[in-house]
Amino acid sequence: MAPCRTTEQRCYSLEYHDTVPKLSSTIRKGRPLSSKTVLLLGGFAPGQSQWSIQQGFEAAGYRVIYTPSRGCIAANRAADIELAKEEADLIPPLETWDLRYPDAAAYEEGLAQLIQEHEPAMLLWWFSKDDCPAGLITSLRQRFPWLKTVTHTQDDPWDALRHPEFSEEFEFVVTCCKESVHVYRDRGIQAIVLYPPPARQLHGVAQPAEHESCDFSVTILSIYARADSDGSAYLASADPVERITHPIGFPDQRVLRHEVVATIGEIGRTHIYGGLGFGTFPGIPRSCYRGFRTYRELPGIYRATKININQHNSPRSHGYLNQRDTAITGAGGFMLTDYVEGIEEEFDIGTEIDTWETLDELRDKAEWWLRHDDERRAAGLAAQQRVMARYGNDAYVDRLVAFIADPGAS
């Protein structure tokens, strides 16, 4: 990552060298944006799928100017420290935070200077719900009426159902759930479904990570409860293990995550990745806990694992996929996931991925796929071809640009 400085704003420009041939894609390409510059905002630094999005735009010939939305406003320091507990990837040390903006008004002026200087065609805010100051986007749209404003969320259907107001100042929203589209459109916001994009430059060339071979892997950042529960302790705890393992309630849960881990742990060698502490799951040996892995390390783990277990917090929401759905398959790993309504519209079940709804079905299918190496490897590669063509970061750029150019055609 090569840091650069622009007027009163921290930004980053990533070097990209394209040596990987593109997988075939039939994505409709729209009219180009008014300029080849995109202003990308969100978080402390480009991480997770935001990094993939940045890579996708730069590979398509866009200049991407990244600026953080956390760790840069002095008045938000305490709130950002709490939000940092939620970050799953890249968090700069607290002592390195560049709190150059006293408050939200100063931050807006910094963004305005960037827009005046670079004239981006699009402002894309990754997870704006947590850190976009009220009124900021409305003000920028009034000052720069030609600027296309987009917010990207990977927490639907819950964002759309619980607090859709986070998106109301934007012109466009990217959602990960098909049934959330109408919620946004009812509020006058143009919405498109674009699942968290795997990076062709990372997932598309992933090789099995050394010393990570196992029968099953589970990547977990939270343990969800079946019934709705108070999540205040989740954020209040100073202990990262306590914070991570506090159950957050989702009423649609069919099977709890500790039940899933216990089931597969009886069948074969299981690796658990995430911020979870030893002993989180009763009966699971200490050697199964592999610690936290970054976004860029996970694709190799997915390839090294025979069966990657996935689970959704809202399996009854039609057309909802999480980041693991596309990251596992984008890396060529085989995925055995709980059934989420409409997943058969995105994958061929049985030949690309497989699904389960009960612990008995999970056990039966896990044992079958462990015995069938050739079929499992072929399914992983078939899923990779499909997901990279439909939802890789190059497809994300093509689809988003086409949608902005003509929302009615989507």
Give the predicted TM-score (pTM) of the model.
0.86
Using one digit for the tens of pLDDT, what is the confidence trace for 301-314? Answer: 999 999 999 999 88
Residue 17 reports pLDDT greater than 60:
no
389 — pLDDT class (breaks 50, 70, 90): very high
30: pLDDT confidence band, cut at 50, 70 and 90?
A: very low
Q: Using the predicted structure, report yes or no on whether residue 114 has a pLDDT greater than 80.
A: yes
The stretch 26-51 carries a mean pLDDT of: 78
Average pLDDT, integer, range 269-298: 85
Check residue 122 and give left, alpha or beta (phi > 0: left; psi -120 to 50: alpha).
Answer: beta
Count the alpha carbons within 13 Å of 105 in the hemisphere toward its beta carbon: 0
Contact of 50 with 124, CB cutoff 8 Å: no
pLDDT at residue 87 greater than cutoff 80: no
Length of the chain: 410
To which CATH superfamily is domain 2-197+392-409 assigned?
Answer: Glycogen Phosphorylase B; (3.40.50.2000)
Query: Would you state the pLDDT for residue 130?
Result: 78
Residue 190 confidence (pLDDT) above 50: yes
Give me the pLDDT at residue 254, please. Answer: 76
285 pLDDT more than 80: yes
**CA 40-54-223 angle, 5° bins:** 90
pLDDT of 126 > 90? The answer is yes
**For the residues 281-295, what does the mean pLDDT come to?**
86
Q: Which residues touch 287 (CB under 8 Å, ≥6 apart)?
A: none
Task: Record the tokens describing residue 328, joined without a space.
Answer: 């596992």
> Which of 29-43, 120-134, 190-204, 284-298 reaches the highest mean pLDDT?
190-204
Please write down the long-range contacts of 354-359, taking CB distance under 8 Å and 24 or more positions apart.
Answer: 354/379, 357/254, 358/254, 358/255, 359/255, 359/259, 359/260, 359/263
CA 163 to chain centre: 19
What pLDDT does 233 receive? 45
> Tell me, what's the pLDDT at 185?
92
Domain(s) of CATH 3.40.50.2000: residues in the chain:
2-197+392-409, 203-389
pLDDT tens per residue, range 325-376: 999 999 999 999 999 999 999 999 999 999 999 999 999 999 999 999 999 9
pLDDT digits (tens, 9 = 90+) for 215-248: 999 997 666 554 444 444 444 445 444 444 444 5
pLDDT at 221: 64
What per-residue confidence (pLDDT) applies to 178?
95
Q: What is the pLDDT of residue 10?
A: 34
Tokens 């940092």 correspond to 84
C-alpha to C-alpha distances, 91 to 38, 45, 295, nearest whole angstrom:
23, 7, 12
Express as a percent the part of the chain with pLDDT over 70: 81
- What per-residue confidence (pLDDT) applies to 160? 83
Statement: residue 16 has pLDDT above 50: no
In this prediction, residues 186-198 reach a mean pLDDT of: 95
The arithmetic mean of pLDDT across residues 271-279, rounded, is 78
pLDDT tens per residue across span 149-162: 999 999 888 788 87
pLDDT of 57:
97
What CATH architecture applies to the domain 203-389? Answer: 3-Layer(aba) Sandwich (3.40)
For position 5, what pLDDT does the model report?
29
The three state secondary structure string of 278-344 is CCCCCCCCHHHEEECCCCCCHHHHHHHEEEEEECCCCCCCCCECCHHHHHHHHCCCCEEEECCCCHH
- Average pLDDT of the chain to the nearest whole number: 84
More confident residue, 30 or 11: 30
pLDDT of residue 18: 30
Quickly state the pLDDT bin for 94 (edges 50, 70, 90).
Answer: confident
> Taking the alpha carbons of 36, 42, 46, 50 in that order, is the dihedral positive or negative?
negative
Q: Say what the pLDDT of residue 20 is.
A: 29
Higher pLDDT pick, 4 / 278: 278
Residue of higher predicted confidence among 158 and 402? 402
* pLDDT at residue 164 in the model: 80
In terms of Cα–Cα distance, which of 287, 307, 300 is closest to 367? 307
